[in-house]
Structure 1
Amino acid sequence: MLTLLLSTFGDFMRLPWFAALVSGPSMAPALRHGDRVLIVRTAHARPGDIVVARFRSRPDLLVVKRVQRADGDGWWVVGDNPFASDDSERYGRADIIGRVTFRWWPQPVRFRRARA
């Protein structure tokens, strides 16, 4: 799950980026509960990218997951922690909202695009 920090401000300004707070263990060890991340708005992703997405079957749920593959007109996304992750196995296709590019708290890390 993901808790947005700047969603109202970002939506109002339509900035190309927004910040978020990671909630839950589904992306451990890459991202952990309490990590703060910077997301660049985009609907494009590659397998291996960490993204913010919304499942079509659960539009109220905003999640941070890793892209596994394109699936028709949507994306198949999975968590890094299979023991604590509700992902496309449970909810189906997702729509990408943005790509996680940087973790700025507690320890800065830049996430690069996956290599093909």
Structure 2
Amino acid sequence: MIELNRLGWLPYRRIRVRGPSMAPTLRDGDVVLARRTGRARSGDVVVVTWVTRPHQLSIKRAVRREGDGWFVVGDNDLASTDSRKLGAAAVHGVIRWRVWPRPRRLAGRP
């Protein structure tokens, strides 16, 4: 049986950001474009899930590969629940663009 990627079968998916964990890079209400076929690299903004939160998609910054997953953190240390508490995460897509408001390409770590 083949498991469907959490982002669906299309190569791109729009996602609305919720919460302050990625500020100042991304803010609550921003809309981003995630590519499910992209390979994550250190510094990329990624869409993830954790074993303990399998139905919750989160947006975080990839830091390093760790076993079968990635160690990821939010850009806002004071408002992020991430790998420091939840362990390695499964990456489901890479975010390259914020499409609303202020469209721009997202680069590596700010």
Give the TM-score of the pair, scaled to structure 2: 0.87
SS at match of 1:83: helix
Contact 1:57 1:92 in 2 (8 A): no
Q: Is 1:60 the equivalent of 2:59? A: no
Structure 2 Cα separation of the partners of residues 74 and 67 of structure 1: 10
Q: Is 1:98 the equivalent of 2:57? A: no
| Equivalent residues in 2 for 1:17-96, closer than 5 Å | 17-42=12-37, 44-96=39-91
Structure 2 Cα separation of the partners of residues 92 and 61 of structure 1: 15
Q: Displacement of 1:56 after TM fit?
A: 1.7
SS at match of 1:68: strand
SS at match of 1:28: coil
Give the TM-score of the pair, scaled to structure 1: 0.83
* Overall identity of the aligned pairs, in %: 50
Runs of 4+ in 1 over 6 A off after TM superposition: none
Output the amino acid matched with 1:53.
Answer: V
- Aligned-CA RMSD value: 1.6
